[in-house]
Amino acid sequence: MTPFIQTFFERKANAALTQSLERACDLSHFKQVKTRLEASEDLSKELPQLKKLAKKDALAAVKTLIKRCDSDLAGYWNLPKAAKAKVTVSHKSFKGELVPRFIATYQFATKLGKVEIKIITQGRYVFVSPNSEDVKKANAELAFRDVEKQLSLAGFSS
């Protein structure tokens, strides 16, 4: 893997983690509100906007907010469309941790084969690992250069 790709994905991960911190707090809050609404607690003093909604409607609104938070957490890892990468993101929250743990996988199609970049996070720790098993060993460097070009062009288009 080239230093450019390593640095690019480390920066991408750090930016996504920074954005995720605030959104993870929102997600935690909405999940607590959902649990309390399901337990039939009166939250109208804490959340005055709930006075206007029936319990069923309030639950539906909170579930929508939870889905939005989940999609935002995954969306922070997306690349510009010009990169032409297939992105897969999963996240899991653990009790006592402020930021969810992420696994983001980027698959790039090159003329020489498929190149995969995988990012695993834990807290602020970021591990970037390449996989070019689909590419012949002699062509691996060229395949990574192709990925580098895709990322560079995507940077100009965004």
Structure tokens at 72: 């935002």
Q: Contact at 8 Å (CB) between 99 and 17?
A: yes
The Cα–Cα gap between 109 and 147 comes to: 8
pLDDT of 49 reads: 82
What three-state secondary structure class fits 158? Answer: coil
Give just the sign of the alpha carbon dihedral 16, 21, 22, 23.
positive
Segment 99-112 shows an average pLDDT of 91
Q: Which residue has the tokens 């109208």?
A: 44
Structure tokens at 18: 């920074």
Confidence of residue 118 (pLDDT cuts 50, 70, 90): very high
Q: Is the pLDDT of residue 147 over 70?
A: yes
Chain centroid offset of residue 46 CA: 31
pLDDT of 45 reads: 83
* Strand ordering across the sheet containing 125-131: 85-92, 101-110, 113-122, 125-131
Tell me the range of 8-17, 35-44, 73-82, 137-146 where mean pLDDT is highest: 8-17
With CA atoms as reference, report the closest residue to 135 among 158, 116, 154, 122.
116
Q: Is the pLDDT of residue 156 over 70?
A: no
pTM (two decimals): 0.80
In whole numbers, what is the pLDDT of the chain averaged over residues? 87
The Cα–Cα gap between 37 and 56 comes to: 9
Q: Which residue has the tokens 């906007």?
A: 49
Tell me the range of 42-56, 58-72, 73-87, 90-104 where mean pLDDT is highest: 58-72
pLDDT of 107 reads: 94
pLDDT of 2 reads: 85
